[in-house]
Amino acid sequence: MQPGTLVNGQPATLGVMGGGQLGRMFVHAAQAMGYYTAVLDPDPASPAGRVSHHHIQTDYLDEQGLAQLMQRCAAITTEFENVPAPALFTLGAHRFVAPASDAVAIAQTRAVEKAHVVKCGVPVAPHAVIETAAQLDAVADELLPGILKTARLGYDGKGQVRVPTRAELASAWAGLGQVPCVLEKMLPLQAECSVIVARSGGGKTVNFPVQRNLHRGGILAVTEVHAGAIEPRLALQAIEATKAIAEGLHYVGVLCVEFFVLAGGQLVVNEMAPRPHNSGHYTLDACDQSQFDLQVRTLAGLPLTQPRQHSPAIMLNLLGDLWQESGSDPDLRSKLGSDPNSCPPWDQVLALPGTHLHLYGKLSARKGRKMGHLNITGDTPEGVRDTAMQACALLGIEPF
């Protein structure tokens, strides 16, 4: 579907399930190429819905909403992995959907996801599935201490509990409502990294450089992408492993795979995301194509070319913690802009060389909520890091 293609006298429309910040950046990329866009999201103030040509404000399984999306769109994608796979299946029966419902369904269930990764010849952390009391009792001693994770719907550290002992494991499973879970052995970590690939319907796969990530409280805090961030041998292994996982899924679209780098220098897969990823936001300012440009290309059937990074980059996640409301509301639920003193000092941050501010248009800030990100680019990794440290000091972000 070429840019400028007309359908009923209007540019072709690309649809996205989900109206968060990833959908917003997809919409901007699609519009830059001349497409109309449609967003299905129940939130009337969703970041993507507010900038799209069409916002279908319904639940993700609403039949009329799905019908409207199909009527408007030539092709449809998703911006988060927890969109109901049956909705994508329904859409896929009538329109081109990328990624397909079966790939998204695999990513939605940890145990199934791990089985797929292993099938592709890529290692994962030692783990056990816990769905019954008998499986809880049968957990091997060597898996403790571990991390108990809900099998579905977990993200940004939600639905995860550290369990050093059997007693704490039993208590944590009860606290999670005895829903199906996966217990993963805690491993000695040297670093975390991720790889983003894009794969076309014809099977061509391109990739961005390996991204070194730092998480705090289960939420991505910092991404560094430059020479020396990850050992070249490990970087090559991570890229090849991600391509193998995408190939095994017959994947079409943008896929991110997160890895743990163990103390001994081995890689194991943490999880995958069938969509653009927070760790790839630096591509907006440091590469000749962004991850969202590639999402548009895979959805529209356009040629894929290998993206090139032209600048060393660091991305800082901007969480709602950075906004302070007069009266120190414990939830930080200030209306953005209602008090000019509540906003971070953007003027001072943007006075630093190579800073690129991206805010997502969310109307309220609260602790842990992703409000935006700051990309920092420069000529050298050392210069970028120095600027990042200055930005952290201005924003009250813990240095790294």
- Tell me what pLDDT residue 116 has: 97
Fold of 126-185: Dna Ligase; domain 1 (3.30.1490)
Residues 39-54 pLDDT 10s: 999 999 999 999 999 9
- Tell me what pLDDT residue 260 has: 97
Q: Could you tell me which residue, 280 or 9, shows the higher pLDDT?
A: 280
C-alpha dist (Å) from residue 72 to 359, 369, 372: 28, 31, 29
C-alpha dist (Å) from residue 163 to 133, 186, 214, 225, 359: 16, 9, 22, 33, 36
Range(s) for CATH 3.40.50.20 in the chain? 6-97
Which CATH code is given to the segment(s) 6-97? 3.40.50.20
Residues 155-209 pLDDT 10s: 666 789 999 999 999 999 999 999 999 999 999 999 999 999 999 999 999 999 9
- Tell me what pLDDT residue 327 has: 36
Q: Is residue 114's pLDDT more than 90?
A: yes
- Tell me what pLDDT residue 340 has: 47
pLDDT band at 304 (very low <50, low <70, confident <90, very high): very high
C-alpha dist (Å) from residue 269 to 194, 212, 228, 256: 9, 14, 21, 11
- Tell me what pLDDT residue 330 has: 44
Q: Please list the helix, strand and coil fractions of the chain in percent, rounded to the nearest 5, in that order.
A: 30, 30, 40
- Tell me what pLDDT residue 6 has: 78
Q: Could you tell me which residue, 274 or 327, shows the higher pLDDT?
A: 274
- Tell me what pLDDT residue 38 has: 98
Residues 328-352 pLDDT 10s: 444 444 445 445 457 899 999 999 9
Q: Is residue 154's pLDDT more than 80?
A: no
- Tell me what pLDDT residue 325 has: 44
Between CA 192 and CA 36 the distance in angstroms is: 37
Are 163 and 144 in contact by the 8 Å Cβ rule? The answer is yes
Q: Could you report how far apart the first and last alpha carbons of the chain are, in Å?
A: 44
Q: Is residue 132's pLDDT more than 50?
A: yes
Side chain identity at 66, as an amino acid letter? L
Between CA 183 and CA 43 the distance in angstroms is: 34
Q: How many CB atoms lie within 10 A of CB 131?
A: 14
Range(s) for CATH 3.30.470.20 in the chain? 189-395
Mean pLDDT of 255-262: 98
Range(s) for CATH 3.30.1490.20 in the chain? 126-185
Which CATH code is given to the segment(s) 189-395? 3.30.470.20
Residues 210-252 pLDDT 10s: 999 999 998 999 999 999 999 999 999 999 999 999 999 999 9
Number of H helices, E strands in the chain: 12, 20
